[in-house]
Amino acid sequence: MIYFLRRVHRVWFLFWILFFFALFYPLYYVTSRSERYYGILNFCRKANSFLCSFFSGVFFSYHYEQKLDRKQTYIYCANHTSNLDIMIFCIMGHGRYHFMGKDELLNNPILGIFFKTIDISVNRDSKISAFRAFKKAGENLEKGMSLIIFPEGKIDDHYPPKLGEFKNGPFRLAIDKNIPLVPVSITNVWKINWDDGAKYGSKPGICDIYVHKPINTSTLKDNDSDVLKEQVYRLIDSKLV
C-alpha cells in the first residue's frame, strides 16, 4: 500500500512539474536568449520550483550556519541524491546563478533549455569537455554569476545513498578565482524522492538542507585544492543522515 501511494504521489508531482514548466516556458524562452535577462530567468525558476513543491506537498527547510551575502558571488558544493536537488537550489538561489551538470541534461525535456543557455553541461569522461566547462564557469564567475555544482558528478546507485568521491574541478576553480565556497548538506531528500523517483516513488514531506558557512579561498594556493576538497567533503558528510 505504501509503495502504491508513493507511486501515485510521483505521478502527482510530475504532473505539477510539467504543468508549471509549460506555464513558464514562454518566459524561459525569452529570458534565456540573452545574459541580460538571466536574473529574471532565475526568478522564474525560483517561482516555478516553489509552486511545484507547494502543490506536491514537498517543502524545503534551510538551516544557515551563517547568513550569506546576496551580493557575493559563491561556488555552492552539495551532495547529490535526488532530482529535487536542482529545485532546492532554484528556491535558495538569488540573482544570476548557474548550474554545472552532466551533458545528458542537454536532451532533458525540461532542463535542456537551461543547459543550452544559462547552465553548463560537461562530459565527465572527457578532459577537453571538462576543461571547456570550467573555463566557461570561470568566465561566468568573473561576471558575478554564482556556480552551483555537485562534485560527486552523479547520484549514487546504492540505496540508501552514500557520499561519493569528489571531483577536483570546483575546488581548483574556487582557489583560482578567489571565490568563497559554500558547502551544502542536503540531508534527507533521498527519503522523499531518491534519484528521479522511478524506483521507489516519492512522498510529501520536509527536506532539510544545512548550509555551512562560506570558506574563504583568497589565502589558498593551487596545491591546496586537495585539502580544500577534503575539508568540504567532511563538512557535507557531517550533516548527512
Q: Are 171 and 165 in contact (CB under 8 A)?
A: no
pLDDT tens-digit map of 153-195 = 899 888 999 999 999 999 999 999 999 999 999 999 999 999 9
* 113: confidence class by pLDDT, cuts 50, 70, 90: very high
Phi, psi of 153 (to 5 degrees): 85, -10
pLDDT band at 83 (very low <50, low <70, confident <90, very high): very high
- For residue range 21-45, what is the model confidence (pLDDT) as tens digits? 999 999 999 999 999 999 999 999 9
Give the mean pLDDT of the chain.
95
Question: Which ranges of 93-188 does DSSP label H, i.e. alpha helix?
Answer: 112-115, 127-142, 169-176
Quick one: what percent of the chain has pLDDT higher than 90? 93
48 is written with which cell numbers? 516555478
Q: How far is the C-alpha of 119 from the C-alpha of 97, rounded, in Å?
A: 9
| Dist. CA 198–CA 190, nearest whole Å | 12
> Which domains can be identified in the chain, with CATH numbers?
2-238 (3.40.1130)
Q: What is the pTM of this model?
A: 0.95
Please name the amino acid found at residue 193: N
139-156 pLDDT, tens per residue? 999 999 999 999 998 998
Query: Buried b / exposed e across 139-152, counting CB within 10 Å, b at 16+?
Result: ebbeeebbbbbbbb
User: Could you read off the pLDDT of 216-227 as tens digits, one per residue?
Assistant: 999 999 899 999
My answer on whether omega of the bond before 160 falls inside 30° of 0, hence cis, is yes
